[in-house]
Amino acid sequence: MNVILLGPPGAGKGTQAESIVKDYKTVHISTGDIFRKNIKENTALGQKAKEYMDKGQLVPDELVVELVADRLSQEDVKQGFLLDGFPRTIFQAEELDKVLLKNDMKIDKVINIEVEPEVLIERAVGRRVCKVDGTTYHVSFNPPKTEGICDHCGQELHQRDDDKEETVRNRISVYTNQTKPLIEYYTKQGNIANINGQQKIEAVFEEIKSALGSEQ
């Protein structure tokens, strides 16, 4: 099954992706995670992306589209993929449609997680992420068993550079102007499911499972 996860920053895309890939045989493709890995490894792509990410702006379309087109040409995605954080502009969505057509693939479902702005800020500012395996926590809503330590690998948790309140506000306004129009784009394509993201993490996942059905 091929799925797109849509939603504003802090909506819970990454959190739900962790559960979806466990239950469905899909490969998680997060453009944000790919950029963060490149920043950590100090690659040329990472250096370019960091300039935009630190300000809460989108990385230019041409860099992202090429990266995703390349990822979707790899063998493992044939079992199904979950796009998290892509597409984020109408241009990216149109380019994705072309890539899918070329590779004889289609999107089965677009999952749109809806959360109000004030809740998003609280979520992003309280988020903590494992430096090693990327598991996501929240200081109040989803705390690790031991403060500051990953439950899975015992390594330190850290705060993302773009999770300062001012940067989160910028990211939300970028979302409203450039990404929200995708809801209409996919509503026209007829395969979108709007999910209430303001429930407990497990309840959100139940709603997503109902939308995805038992299809694998």
Positions 93 through 152 that interact with ligand AP5 (CB under 6 A): 123-124, 126-127, 136-138, 141-142
- Least separation in angstroms between CB 67 and ligand AP5: 9
- Least separation in angstroms between CB 143 and ligand AP5: 9
| Number of residues forming the site for ligand AP5 (CB under 6 A) | 37
Residue 179 marked in a binding site: no
> Would you count residue 24 as binding ligand AP5 (CB under 6 A)?
no
> Would you count residue 183 as binding ligand AP5 (CB under 6 A)?
no
- Tokens at residue 111, please? 């999952």
213: left (phi over 0), alpha (psi -120 to 50) or beta: left
> Would you count residue 71 as binding ligand AP5 (CB under 6 A)?
no
Residue 43 marked in a binding site: no
Residue 135 marked in a binding site: no
For the annotated catalytic residues, the residue numbers are 13, 88, 127, 160, 171
> Would you count residue 171 as binding ligand AP5 (CB under 6 A)?
yes
> Would you count residue 186 as binding ligand AP5 (CB under 6 A)?
no
User: Which segment (3-11, 70-78, 104-112, 181-189) binds ligand AP5 by CB under 6 A?
Assistant: 3-11
Residue from 6, 29, 39, 59 touching ligand AP5 (CB under 6 A): that is: 59
Could you tell me the maximum CA-CA distance found in the chain, to the nearest angstrom?
A: 48
Tell me which of ligand AP5, Mg ion, none is bound by residue 80, counting a contact when its beta carbon lies within the kind-specific cut-off of 5 to 8 angstroms.
none
Q: Is residue 1 exposed (0-12), middle (13-18) or buried (19+ Cβ within 10 Å)?
A: middle
The annotated binding site for ATP is made up of 10-15, 127, 136-137, 199
Question: Which residues are at the interface with ligand AP5 (CB under 6 A)?
Answer: 7, 9-15, 31-32, 35, 52-53, 56-59, 64, 85-86, 88, 92, 123-124, 126-127, 136-138, 141-142, 162, 171, 197, 200-201, 204
